[in-house]
Structure 1
């Protein structure tokens, strides 16, 4: 029976990931956006026919925007949690863990990311009404886009990134040092792991303001980067190269207006 429960929980977990990606795709197409988060042909034609119509205008109210960001967190961050849940799974027999604790870890992790979603929702609305970003969530100034890329790239070399990434990259060590049993114990550990994960990956999230917060291609690429960073075999080897790539990209964005 325990193997059946285990398989069912993992299947449900991956089902939530697939559902989250489908939801983001449905939201994007429903707003008349393509996979790059830009107005598609039909939306452009309809807007040209009646300029007063905002056919592809993303949400500009807190609660709808929060739902979008929460869905985005589920789609992007749950795949990165596989090594963490697998590590807890390995400890169920040897350290008196439980399936309830496994669910607690998952819930605590997601709670932290939803809180981060609320914070970035507020930031997006402030930037929008301050005229810094457009309705697609993209910086209006290439200087800001380039500066953000460089800042996120530079963060890859900081001690804070190293510490947070160390916990995300090796969750077994965190579990052994903070082990608590039962659902409440799992929830507590999940909150802690989620906090370290936000500290590790926040930069990839805010880069949505460079490419568009509903850019599904960016979401997929950022998810790939974060998954690779957490793989035990190669995660510690790619953090700084990713930082170099982001800095070079940012410098290119800054140089582009000067070259044109």
Structure 2
């Protein structure tokens, strides 16, 4: 029975990730975008729409945007939680961790990212009505894209990134220092881990505004890197090289405007 419960929880966890990706693919297709975020004729028409028009558009309303960002958080950030959940599983065997606590960690972690999704939805509306991005969430000015790439690249070298990444990179140490039992304890630890994870990865989410928030290629690459960055064996070797790549990307976009 314990093995059946363990398998069911893991299957449910990965099923949620797959459903989230399916939702993102469906939303991207419905907006007339291909996997690289390039619009077809319908997408171009939507891109040129004025958000101040009387016609109601989901991409110009808070709650549809919040739902989209929450699904994106599930698709992109839940895969990065796998090393953390493995660390918690070790404590189920060696300490007094429970399956209820396992669920609590997931829900606490995701609750923080849903909160961040609300912030991003508000930011997208502000940028849209400010004329900085278009209806598809793509930067109108290449200089805004340059600023995002540069900010994300520089952040990789900061002390804040180092501290937050240290927690995400070594979740076992966090659990040992903040250990609480049961569902409530797992939920509180999930909240803490989620907060550090937002501190570690917020810049990669903001980069969506550079090439389009529904760009599935960007979502996939960002998810892949964030998973690698949290792996105990290699994660700490990747942070600063990625920062250098992002800064180089900012320089390239600044020099060749046709890339945006």
TM-score (norm 2): 0.93
**For the Cα contact (< 8 Å) 1:58–1:135, is it kept in 2?**
no
**What secondary structure, in the 3-state scheme, does the structure 1 residue paired with 2:256 have?**
helix
Would you say how many aligned residue pairs link Structure 1 and Structure 2? 252
Q: How far apart, in 1, do the equivalents of 2:162 and 2:228 lie?
A: 15
Moved over 6 A (4+): none
Q: Which residue of 1 aligns with 2:168?
A: 168
Tell me which moved more, 8-17 or 30-39. Answer: 30-39
Q: How far apart, in 2, do the equivalents of 1:31 and 1:85 lie?
A: 35
Shift of 1:257: 3.9
TM-score (norm 1): 0.93
Where structure 2 has 5 or more consecutive residues not aligned to the other structure, the ranges are: none
Where structure 1 has 5 or more consecutive residues not aligned to the other structure, the ranges are: none
Residue pairs, 1:196-215, within 5 angstroms: 196-215=196-215
Q: Which residue of 2 aligns with 1:185?
A: 185
Q: How far apart, in 2, do the equivalents of 1:126 and 1:3 lie?
A: 48
Residue 238 of structure 1 pairs with residue 233 of structure 2: no
| Cα distance per residue 1:177-209 (max 9 Å; x no partner) | 000000000000000000000000001000000
Residue 256 of structure 1 pairs with residue 256 of structure 2: yes
Residue pairs, 1:95-134, within 5 angstroms: 95-134=95-134
Q: How far apart, in 1, do the equivalents of 2:128 and 2:28 lie?
A: 19
**For the Cα contact (< 8 Å) 2:104–2:183, is it kept in 1?**
yes
Q: How far apart, in 1, do the equivalents of 2:213 and 2:174 lie?
A: 32
